[in-house]
């Protein structure tokens, strides 16, 4: 669905950053990548929540932002805004573009259950790397590799293991897996994304991500 939006250039994107130069630069880069997209901007948390009335497909946000005009920017403010967005818009695609990505380790439970795309782009990344994170988020993928400590010890939820077993031990496709588990195909894809992030597997040109997932899962002992 999101990829279709990208192809048709019907995207709606909200960019949140309290530094006008960074805000303008991010919008400029995204406009070149998605020339037909509609853009909204916000410079603080209050402004961002107001702009959510536009129902964007994607939010690209910094964490160190002020609550409102005249207030000092703090990463805690961005984290609270992020929690609110993920709670109120569980299918929202999000890219956290910040120099404070380590603070996201506090939000691991929320990230694990978020159903939309969720990727992290440290502000030190190149433009191309940042755009890759945007593309992954729009595909509904999760990428949290840059958050130090978030995967200290592999933790895999039971439903993710069920998907692995049905796919690689019973040879079932996503549609049949969804029927077996009495969930939607979208939820199956959500489980794949979370599992692949936990296994540190992300899209690579020329490589089949499902095959890579199976190999890593077997290596980690998650399936026989």
The 10s digit of each residue's pLDDT in 169-184 is 899 999 999 999 999 9
Q: Any idea what DSSP says for residue 222? A: S
Q: Can you tell me which residue has the tokens 């909200």?
A: 14
Number of residues in the chain: 224
Residue-wise pLDDT tens digits, 148-177: 666 656 677 889 989 999 999 899 999 999
Q: Can you tell me which residue has the tokens 């994607």?
A: 58
Q: In terms of C-beta density within 10 A (0-12 exposed, 13-18 middle, 19 or more buried), how is residue 45 classed? A: buried
Residue-level pLDDT at 82: 97
Question: What structural domains and CATH numbers belong to the chain?
Answer: 2-143 (3.40.50.2300), 158-219 (1.10.10.10)
Residue-wise pLDDT tens digits, 13-68: 999 999 999 999 999 999 999 998 999 999 999 999 999 999 999 999 999 999 99
**Are 93 and 119 in contact, with CB atoms under 8 Å apart?**
no
Residue-level pLDDT at 3: 46
How far the first Cα of the chain sits from its last, in Å, is 34
**Distance from the Cα of residue 144 to its chain's centroid:** 8
Grade residue 7 by pLDDT with cuts at 50, 70 and 90.
Answer: very low
Alpha carbon dihedral 66, 77, 105, 3, in 10-degree steps, equals -70
Q: In terms of C-beta density within 10 A (0-12 exposed, 13-18 middle, 19 or more buried), how is residue 194 classed? A: buried
Q: In terms of C-beta density within 10 A (0-12 exposed, 13-18 middle, 19 or more buried), how is residue 115 classed? A: middle
Sheet holding 142-143, edge to edge: 38-42, 12-16, 58-61, 93-98, 118-122, 142-143
**Are 213 and 160 in contact, with CB atoms under 8 Å apart?**
no
What crossing angle do the helices spanning 158-168 and 174-181 adopt, rounded to 10°? 130
Residue-wise pLDDT tens digits, 93-120: 999 999 988 888 888 889 989 999 999 9
Long-range contacts of 160-163 (CB under 8 A, 24+ apart): 160/191, 160/194, 160/195, 160/198, 161/222, 161/223, 163/188, 163/191, 163/192, 163/195
Grade residue 2 by pLDDT with cuts at 50, 70 and 90.
Answer: very low
């Amino acid at each position: 669905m999101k990829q279709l939006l990208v192809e048709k250039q019907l995207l709606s994107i909200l960019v949140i950053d309290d530094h006008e130069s960074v805000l303008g630069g991010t919008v400029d880069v995204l406009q070149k990548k998605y020339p037909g997209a509609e853009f909204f901007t916000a410079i603080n948390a209050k402004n961002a929540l107001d702009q959510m009335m536009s129902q964007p497909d994607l939010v690209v946000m910094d964490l160190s932002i002020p609550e409102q005009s005249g207030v000092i920017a703090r990463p805690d403010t961005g984290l609270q805004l992020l929690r609110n967005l993920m709670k109120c818009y569980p299918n929202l695609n999000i890219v956290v573009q910040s120099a404070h990505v380590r603070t996201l380790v506090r939000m691991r439970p929320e990230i694990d259950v978020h159903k939309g795309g969720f990727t992290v782009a440290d502000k030190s990344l190149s433009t191309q790397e940042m755009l890759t994170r945007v593309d992954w988020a729009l595909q509904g993928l999760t990428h949290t590799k840059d958050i130090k400590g978030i995967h200290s010890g592999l933790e895999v939820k039971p439903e993710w293991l069920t998907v692995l077993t049905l796919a690689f031990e019973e040879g079932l496709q996503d549609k049949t897996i969804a029927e077996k588990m009495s969930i939607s195909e979208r939820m199956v894809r959500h489980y794949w994304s979370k599992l692949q992030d936990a296994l540190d597997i992300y899209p690579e040109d020329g490589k089949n991500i499902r095959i890579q997932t199976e190999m890593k899962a077997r290596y980690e002992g998650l399936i026989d």
